Structure 1
Amino acid sequence: MSNEKAPVFSDGFAVPITGLLAFLFAIMAGMTVTPALSGSLTDIAIPVSFGLASLFCFRLRQQAIASQTEN
C-alpha cells in the first residue's frame, strides 16, 4: 500500500465509463437481434439503434484518449 494520493484510473473518468457503455450497448444489441429477426421488419430498429449507440460510445472513448495524449 502506498500513501500517495494517485487517481485509480490515470485516464480519468470518461474513458472507463464510455468503454463500459459501449460494451453494454453491444451486449444489448446482441441480445435483441434474435427476437428482432423472428419478428416484423420494424423490430430490427432496436438492435440497430443499440449497435449505433455502442459505436458512438466507442468513438467518444477514442476521442477522450486522443485528447489526453495531446496534453
Structure 2
Amino acid sequence: MGVPAVFMNGQEFGQGRMTLTEIVAKVDTGAEKRAAEELNQRDAYDVLIVGSGPSGAAAAVYSARKGIVPA
C-alpha cells in the first residue's frame, strides 16, 4: 500500500494525513498574519477570570465594581 499524495497545479501539495489547519495554511499563506493582526487590534483586558461557577461570577462582579475590565 502506498501513501496518498495530493497534487495541485502539477506540484505535490501534501502527502499522507493532513489536518484542516495544515491544508488552510498551505492554501491561504497569509491567514496566520491576518489572524495575529486581528488579535492585536482588540482592546486589552485588565483581568482574566477562568471559571463560571460562583467564584468566577463573584470575581467578575467585584472586578466590574472596581472598574476593571474582565475577560
TM-score calculated relative to the size of structure 2: 0.29
More strand by share: 2
- Larger relative contact order, structure 1 or 2 (CA cutoff 8 Å, min sep 6): 1
Q: From the CA coordinates, give the structure whose radius of gyration is larger.
A: 2
TM-score calculated relative to the size of structure 1: 0.29
More helix by share: 1
